[in-house]
Amino acid sequence: MTYRLERLNSQLRLEISDLIQHYIKDPRLGNLVSVTAVEISADLRHAKVHISQLGTEQEKKETIEALTSAAGYIRHELGNRMQARRIPEFSFHLDETIEKADRILRLMDKMSEEETSQP
């Protein structure tokens, strides 16, 4: 990935995160929604936005639906904020990396507790 794409991914991640936290007032958006990564295509037409959220599967599904319905608004606002020739179309995806890492850490803690309790 080129430096330009990496820089654009980072800027999009920050701007989308700010919009989600401060400007999108959809009741389907849960608490603790964070943008973990943005992957923009080489032609700058499409971008995958990876979202992490703590909550139930239903809450996560509703969050993705809310963000998908707000994609046009997000794109419009980014057009006003950024000095880019083209703002990509967004698709939102759940990122469960944090939850998987938490599960692995809990399993490791449990194993270490079992080892220390054995004589």
Measured between its terminal Cα atoms, the distance across the chain in Å is 52
Give the model's pLDDT for residue 6: 92
Name beta bridge partners: 103: none
Domains in the chain, number: 1
Give the pLDDT of residue 119: 64
Per-residue model confidence as pLDDT tens for the chain (119 residues): 688 889 999 999 999 999 999 999 888 887 788 999 999 999 999 999 999 988 888 999 999 999 999 999 999 999 999 888 889 999 999 998 877 888 899 999 988 888 887 76
- Please tell me the predicted confidence (pLDDT) of residue 19: 94
pLDDT of residue 32: 83
- Residue-range definition of the domain harbouring residue 41: 3-117
CATH number of residue 89's parent domain: 3.30.300.20
Rounded Cα–Cα distance for residues 64 and 91 (Å): 9
Instruction: Tell me the backbone φ, ψ of residue 9, rounded to 5 degrees.
Output: -60, -45
